[in-house]
Amino acid sequence: MQPETAQNQSVAAPSLSVVVPVYRSETSLRALVERLLTVLKNRADDFEIILVNDGSPDRSWRLIEELARADTRIRGIDLMRNFGQHNAVLCGIRAARYDVIITLDADLQHPPEEIPSLLAKLAEGYDVVYGRPAEEKHSLFRRLGSNTLRYIVGHVLGITNAAQISALRAFRARLREPFLTYSSPLVFIDVMLTWSTTRITAVSVRHAERSKGKSSYSLYQLLGWCFTVITSFSTLPLRLASWIGFFFTLFGVGVLVYVIGVYLILGYSIPGFPFLASIIAIFSGAQLFALGIIGEYLSRIHFRLMDKPPFVVRDSIGFPPPNQNPLKPALESAVNRQIVHG
Ligand code: UDP
Ligand code: MG
């Protein structure tokens, strides 16, 4: 769908904030930053690269500090521990200070050279542009996991174009306003972006092979992540539990009619234990299933009430002190609560 206001968009190059979640990426980080700088220099007058270290056990943070000292456009945030990819991206998004935010992975699987094609599409008037790999260079299991995730998340959460979701995204910074104060440990950036817009599209991009190491995600972890995302952002499982309860109530009534019918019409009663045992097992199974789902929601509410944060910042480098930063005071104050200015 082509947005109506496409022609009204400004043609001036937008200022860019690039957010990169970093986990065990010491081998690819330097090359990534060099390639990003080459691309960004030609695309924007103002830009920054925000590298968010998600509790990497390797030397990633040391390297980020080195890179940030060498170039003022590179900023680093070090999280207290490993919070997860989306949480790290959320932290970077909050700290970003320019008009358009770009997110990409640290392992060079998303070539920085593809950024201009995302920006060109954004300039047509879209609010979010994903870079969808023409051919995904992941293992079969990893692809199966992420495709299942996309399918389920798309259908359950009502995201049209869910197949386009990718960690390579460009979007307008204003979209983050509804989740500036989001305080839950469960973060899913792509759902949060749909809170503000439906002008979402994708362009086809190259997807490079992973040069070193392996994906941080197993199929099992991805399926667990699917379940968490669905129970965090949708009430469909609760409705499913109600339907199962309803179905088994009808089933129970059917069994009762059958038992009484056999007794009245055929004149004998259904022989007892095995029949009764199986019915009880079915019913208690359904009840426990429904209770389990309710429990999942209770635990989500519990965590929300605890105000468990999505991330905690240990250190940062390259951010100006709050009182010297003229940019976006409202956004800054939201960021300052989390970021210790280094
Ligand atoms: N990542 C992160 N925290 C984690 C796991 C991954 O910040 O706990 C980052 C990682 O540095 C990379 C991106 O998330 O930039 C994607 O991770 P990875 O390449 O391992 O996964 P893939 O999607 O390629 O399977
Ligand atoms: Mg990767």
Q: Is 257 exposed, middle or buried (0-12, 13-18, 19+ CB in 10 A)?
A: exposed
Q: Which of 104, 209, 216 to mutate to test the pocket of ligand 1 (most atoms within 8 A of CB)?
A: 216
Confidence band (pLDDT; 50, 70, 90) for 73? very high
Q: Which helix (H) or strand (E) is 306 found in, with range?
A: helix 273-306
User: Do 283 and 167 fall within a single domain?
Assistant: no
User: Do 296 and 186 fall within a single domain?
Assistant: no
User: Do 126 and 154 fall within a single domain?
Assistant: yes
Residue pLDDT, tens place only, 277-324 = 888 888 888 888 888 889 889 988 888 888 889 999 999 999 877 555
- Any idea which residue has 């700088």 for tokens? 37
Asked whether the predicted pLDDT for residue 342 surpasses 50, the reply is: no
> Which pLDDT score is estimated for 113?
96
Confidence band (pLDDT; 50, 70, 90) for 193? very high
Look up residue 72 and give its DSSP letter. Answer: T
Residue pLDDT, tens place only, 121-179 = 999 999 999 998 887 777 777 777 777 777 777 776 666 666 778 899 999 999 999 99
User: Do 95 and 161 fall within a single domain?
Assistant: yes
- Tokens coding 294: 């309710």
Q: Cα torsion at 83, 84, 89, 91 (round to 10°)?
A: -10
User: Which residues are near ligand 1 (CB < 6 Å)?
Assistant: 21-23, 25, 54, 82, 84-85, 88, 105-107, 109, 138, 142, 215-217
Ligand 2 centroid distance, CA of 110 (Å): 8
Q: How many domains does the chain have?
A: 2
Confidence band (pLDDT; 50, 70, 90) for 213? low
User: Do 140 and 177 fall within a single domain?
Assistant: yes
Q: Which of 50, 59, 107 to mutate to test the pocket of ligand 1 (most atoms within 8 A of CB)?
A: 107
Ligand 2 centroid distance, CA of 107 (Å): 5
Asked whether the predicted pLDDT for residue 4 surpasses 50, the reply is: no
* Total residue count of the chain as it appears in this document: 342
- Tokens coding 228: 């968490």
User: Which residue has the least CA distance to atom 8 on ligand 1?
Assistant: 84
Ligand 1 centroid distance, CA of 142 (Å): 12
- Whether 159 maps to a domain, the answer reads yes
Question: Coil, strand or helix: which one is 50?
Answer: strand
User: Do 58 and 144 fall within a single domain?
Assistant: yes
Output the domain CATH number for residue 332.
3.90.550.10
* Euclidean distance between CA atoms 77 and 315, whole angstroms: 6
> Which pLDDT score is estimated for 206?
87
Q: Which of 218, 7, 36 is nearest to 113 (CA)?
A: 36
Residue 147's domain comprises 6-218+312-337
* Euclidean distance between CA atoms 173 and 90, whole angstroms: 12
* Mean pLDDT of all residues in 265-272: 81
Among the bound ligands, name the one nearest to the CA of residue 55. Answer: 1
* Mean pLDDT of all residues in 19-44: 94
> Which pLDDT score is estimated for 77?
96
